[in-house]
Structure 1
Amino acid sequence: MSRVRGRVERGGSLADFIWFRTGGPAEWLVRPADVDDLAALLADLDPAIPVLPVGVGSNLIVRDGGVPGVVVRLPKAMARVTIDDGRVRAGAAAMGITVASAARDAGIAGLEFLRGIPGTVGGAVRMNAGAYGRDVSDILVEATIVTRAGTIETWSADRLGYTYRHSAVPAGAVVVAALFDGVPGDPATIGAEMDRIAAEREASQPLRSRTGGSTFKNPPPETAGGHKAWALIDAAGCRGLRRGDAQVSDKHCNFLLNLGSATAAEIEALGEEVRDRVNAQSGVMLEWEIQRVGLFPSRLREGLGEGVVMHDPASGHALPRPLPRAGGEK
C-alpha cells in the first residue's frame, strides 16, 4: 500500500464545507498532495472501495448517514490556472470565476459564463455545467482524469460524451485538470459581460444562503411546453414551501435552502415533495440536478464518522486495505 503524502481523516466532516452545511461525514476524507499522490492512492486502493470526488459541494446533498469509502477533495495546489497558446489550462480545484477572470485578463472570450458557475472545474467538467446559454462542452478541448485504477489519462471532449448535465467520466474517476478554448476578445468587453452575469445572479438567486444551486434540471421543451423547472415549481405552488428548516427559496424556486438546522433528509424530502407536486400539477416529473450521495441514517454502521484524525505530515499515512466498509445503499 502506498503512503498518502496528503491529508487523511477518518470520519472527515463534509458539512464543514459543502454549501448546504449539513449531512454526515466521509468514512475517509483524503486530500492528496498532487496528481501523482492521487494516482498512487487509487492504484493501490481495493477496487471494492467506492471513491467520490467532491469540490466545494455547491451542487451536493450529503445524506445524514455519511459517505462510505473514500471522498477525495483536491488541494489548493491543484487550482492553478495558466494560459497555454491562447487557451486556458486549469487545475480541477480552480473555481469557475478564477478561470473566467484569467481568460478575461488574457483577452480570451467565450468563457464568461463560468463566472455564473459557483463550483470547481472538476465538478463543471464532470456534470457539463452550464449557465446563460452555454455549457462546458462548448469550450472544453480536453480533460485530464485519474481513473479508479490509478492511471492518468487525457480525454478529448468527444470522448467525454457530453449531454445535458452529464458526461461519460466513469464513477470513481477524478478530474484533475482541463483545457478550455475561446476566441480573441477585448478584456474590457469580456469584463463587462462577467459583471452583467454577476449582477443578474445577485438579483435572481439566493447567493448568500445555505443552498445547493439549481435543484432540478430543466425538462426537455417538448415535455414541458418550453417551461423551465422554476416556472413549473412556481405554478405548482411550491415557492416558499417548508419542511423543518428546509425551504424552497422565495427568490428563485429552483433553489432549496437550509435556513439553519435542516437535516439532509429534510432537504431531500422537500425536493421529493416538490417533484410530486409538479408532477400532479403539470404531468412533468422533474429530474434532480443536485447530486445526492451517501447513506440514510438507518443504514449507518457503528463506527462511521468517529472523526479520528489520522494525518501525520511528517510520515504520511497509509489507508487500510481494505478500508472499513460502511455498507448499505448509496
Structure 2
Amino acid sequence: MSRGQALLDSLGDRLVGLRGRITPDAEMDKITWFRVGGLADALFQPADEDDLAAFLKILPEEVPLTVVGIGSNLLVRDGGIPGFVVRLSAKGFGGVEAISETRIRAGAAAPDKRVAAAAWEAGIGGFHFYHGIPGAIGGALRMNAGANGTETCERVVEVRALDRKGRLHVLSNADMGYSYRHSSVPADLIFTSAVFEGYVEDRDVIRAAMDEVQNHRETVQPIREKTGGSTFKNPEGSSSWKEIDKAGCRGLMIGGAQMSPMHCNFMINTGSATAYDLECLGETVRAKVFENSGICLQWEIRRIGQFRPGFEVEEFCGAPVPVKT
C-alpha cells in the first residue's frame, strides 16, 4: 500500500462530507513550474473557504500540512512531501472583483496577472506591477511580492485567513508585519482572500504601464523556460543578478539545472534537471558569491519536502557545498 493511501485509510470516515478533491500520491512535478519533485502523500483541493475550514477542523495535528499555490516560485524536493498538501482551487478561490472605485477583492488562488487586468478594466491604478509577477495572490501576500518599484504591502487593506484548526482570522495591513519579501504572520495561516486599494486612474495610462512591464519581462527574463522566477532576494545595496554575474555564475550548470544566460538570477530546468540539481546549483551559486563578495544571498524560491536518500543538499554556511554520493 502506498503512503498516500495509508494516510487516507488512517483517517477513515473523517473525510466524508468534504466537497473538495482528494488525490493520494499526488505528482507534484505536474504542479510546479520547474517540473520536478516527488509525490505528496495526499493533495486536497478544497471547494471553497467553508470546505477548507471543515477539512482543517478534522485533520489531526500530527498529520503534516503544507500549502502551495500555483507552483511558480516553488521547488519540491525529490523525496516528496509527507502528509497533506493543500492547493486552493481556481473555482473556489480564484475570483477577482472591483468592490469600489479604488478597491479590489481577490481570492488567494487568483493569478497576480488577473488582478492587474481586473484593476485596468475598473480604472484602478497601482496594480500594473502584478502584470509581471508569475504567481498567485496567496503567495504575493505571504512574501510581499513586488516589482517595478511597488510591493504588495502598499496595496493590502485586509486579509482573510484560516488557522490550522479552521478558525477564521481577518488581518489588517499592520497585522501582516511586512518587510522586504517577507510577512511575519504565523506560518500555519492559510490565506483565502484579500482586499486591496489603489487609486482612480485613466485606463490608457494603466495599459501603458502594464505594457511596459510586459516588454521588460520579455526582453530580460527567460519567461518561456521551466523556471521559478527570481532565485534569490536582492541583498541590501545591490542586485542578486549583479553579484551572481560578478562571481562568474551566469550560465553555470549542474546536471540539467542552469543559471540563465539571459538573466542570471533565474534558475532554469533545461529539460533533465532534478530537484537535487536545482537546489545544489543554488547553493553552489551562494558559495561562489560569498567567496567573491562576502554577500550571503538568501533564497527567494521556496523549497519544501524531503530529500531523496543520498541526494541531500545542506544550506551554504561558509562550508563546502555537498556533492552527490
Which contiguous aligned blocks of 4+ residues in structure 1 show a shift greater than 6 angstroms? none
Of 277, 290, 310, the residue aligned with 1:279 is: 290
Of 10, 19, 44, the residue aligned with 2:58 is: 44
SS in 1 for 2:29: coil
Letter aligned with residue 193 of structure 1: A
Letter aligned with residue 51 of structure 1: L
2:68 equivalent in structure 1: 54
Q: Distance in 1 between matches of 2:293 and 2:52?
A: 46
Structure 1 residue 260: deviation in Å?
A: 0.4
1:213 equivalent in structure 2: 229
Paired residues of 1:61 and 1:292 also in contact (CA < 8 A):
yes
2:182 counterpart of 1:166: yes
State the percentage of identical aligned residues.
49
Structure 2 unaligned regions, length at least 5: 1-13, 312-325
Paired residues of 1:50 and 1:172 also in contact (CA < 8 A):
no
Q: Distance in 1 between matches of 2:131 and 2:186?
A: 27
1:264 equivalent in structure 2: 275
| Greater helix share, structure number | 2
Alignment CA distance shift 1:172-1:26 (3 Å): farther
Structure 1 residue 173: deviation in Å?
A: 2.2
Q: Distance in 2 between matches of 1:91 and 1:124?
A: 11
Of 157, 180, 187, the residue aligned with 2:203 is: 187
2:98 counterpart of 1:83: yes
Instruction: Output one character per residue of 1:208-251: Cα deviation in whole Å (capped at 9) or x when no partner.
Output: 00001100000112xxxxx2000000000000000011000000
Q: Distance in 1 between matches of 2:236 and 2:81?
A: 32
Q: Distance in 1 between matches of 2:85 and 2:289?
A: 33
SS in 1 for 2:61: coil
Q: Distance in 1 between matches of 2:58 and 2:193?
A: 22
CA-based RMSD of the aligned residues comes to: 1.2
2:108 counterpart of 1:92: yes
2:42 counterpart of 1:34: no
1:10 equivalent in structure 2: 24
Structure 1 unaligned regions, length at least 5: 222-226, 301-330
Q: Distance in 2 between matches of 1:38 and 1:123?
A: 17
Q: Distance in 2 between matches of 1:62 and 1:15?
A: 8
Structure 1 residue 17: deviation in Å?
A: 2.0
Instruction: Output one character per residue of 1:15-47: Cα deviation in whole Å (capped at 9) or x when no partner.
Output: 112100011111111101111010111111111
Structure 1 residue 168: deviation in Å?
A: 2.3
1:133 equivalent in structure 2: 149
Alignment CA distance shift 1:34-1:18 (3 Å): same
Q: Distance in 2 between matches of 1:36 and 1:20?
A: 31
Using the size of structure 1 for normalisation, the TM-score is: 0.87
SS in 1 for 2:191: strand
Q: Distance in 2 between matches of 1:5 and 1:68?
A: 22
Instruction: Output one character per residue of 1:242-290: Cα deviation in whole Å (capped at 9) or x when no partner.
Output: 0011000000000100000100001000000000000000000101110
2:250 equivalent in structure 1: 239
Q: Distance in 1 between matches of 2:66 and 2:150?
A: 26
SS in 2 for 1:22: coil
Structure 1 residue 124: deviation in Å?
A: 0.5
Structure 1 residue 51: deviation in Å?
A: 1.6
How many residues align? The count is: 295
Of 290, 299, 302, the residue aligned with 1:291 is: 302
SS in 1 for 2:26: coil
Letter aligned with residue 128 of structure 1: N
SS in 1 for 2:158: strand
SS in 1 for 2:135: coil
Alignment CA distance shift 1:187-1:256 (3 Å): same
Structure 1 residue 70: deviation in Å?
A: 1.2
Paired residues of 2:175 and 2:185 also in contact (CA < 8 A):
no
Paired residues of 1:65 and 1:299 also in contact (CA < 8 A):
no
2:167 counterpart of 1:156: no
SS in 1 for 2:28: coil
Using the size of structure 2 for normalisation, the TM-score is: 0.89
Instruction: Output one character per residue of 1:120-146: Cα deviation in whole Å (capped at 9) or x when no partner.
Output: 001110111111111100101011111
1:121 equivalent in structure 2: 137
Letter aligned with residue 252 of structure 2: L
State the structure with bigger RCO (CA 8 A, min sep 6), 1 or 2: 1
SS in 2 for 1:155: strand
Q: Distance in 1 between matches of 2:255 and 2:129?
A: 34
User: Pairwise mapping of residues 141-152 of structure 1 onto structure 2 (< 5 A)?
Assistant: 141-152=157-168
Structure 1 residue 48: deviation in Å?
A: 2.1
Letter aligned with residue 21 of structure 1: R
